[in-house]
């Protein structure tokens, strides 16, 4: 078995290296030279194509745009306070007519007494604008007496308000 190498130059013995030491030395040189990317001098620009796909994967489509929420407009119906009460106060609920105690027991100065009606019954039935007594009286029935009749828009406000439920709004 060989247990050492002798290095001789021109038949002169310079030194002897044990086989074990020489194998460790050669193994170290081999390991150091493997995987060292700094020593590569060749063009490696095309090598990434091997590692990366050559086509880009399709992009996932964005989620569909949500349709904007269209809010229904708030329908502001006819208001007793803003639309009906001013007409009553100006044309009907005046002293000597339908203010407390009121002709025929009908007081039109407040919602509660208007809703209650007078001696002839309720002035209106919620939901029945054209059939209500108040509409029959202001639409060609002689009310208000001694002055110009209510115009068509004002009469329509009463009809619409009663048809919408005749609320105290």
Predicted TM-score (pTM) of the model is 0.56
Which helix or strand (DSSP H or E) is residue 15 part of? strand 12-18
For residue range 43-78, list pLDDT tens digits in order.
656 555 555 556 666 778 888 878 887 777 656 689
Alpha-carbon dihedral 79, 81, 82, 88, rounded to 10 degrees: 110
Which sequence spans correspond to the domains of the chain? 1-34, 80-163
């Amino acid at each position: 078995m060989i247990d050492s190498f002798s290095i001789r130059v021109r038949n002169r013995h310079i030194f002897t290296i044990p086989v074990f030491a020489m194998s460790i030395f050669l193994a170290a040189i081999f390991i150091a030279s493997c995987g060292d990317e700094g020593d590569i001098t060749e063009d490696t620009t095309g090598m990434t194509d091997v590692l990366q796909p050559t086509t880009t994967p399709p992009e996932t489509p964005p989620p569909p745009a949500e349709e904007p929420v269209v809010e229904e407009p708030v329908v502001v119906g006819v208001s007793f306070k803003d639309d009906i009460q001013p007409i009553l106060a100006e044309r009907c609920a005046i002293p000597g007519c339908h203010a407390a105690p009121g002709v025929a027991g009908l007081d039109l100065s407040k919602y509660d007494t208007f809703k209650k009606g007078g001696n002839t019954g309720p002035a209106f039935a919620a939901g029945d604008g054209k059939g209500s007594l108040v509409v029959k009286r202001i639409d060609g029935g002689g009310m208000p007496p001694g002055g110009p009749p209510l115009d068509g828009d004002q009469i329509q406000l009463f009809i619409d308000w009663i048809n919408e439920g005749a609320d105290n709004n």
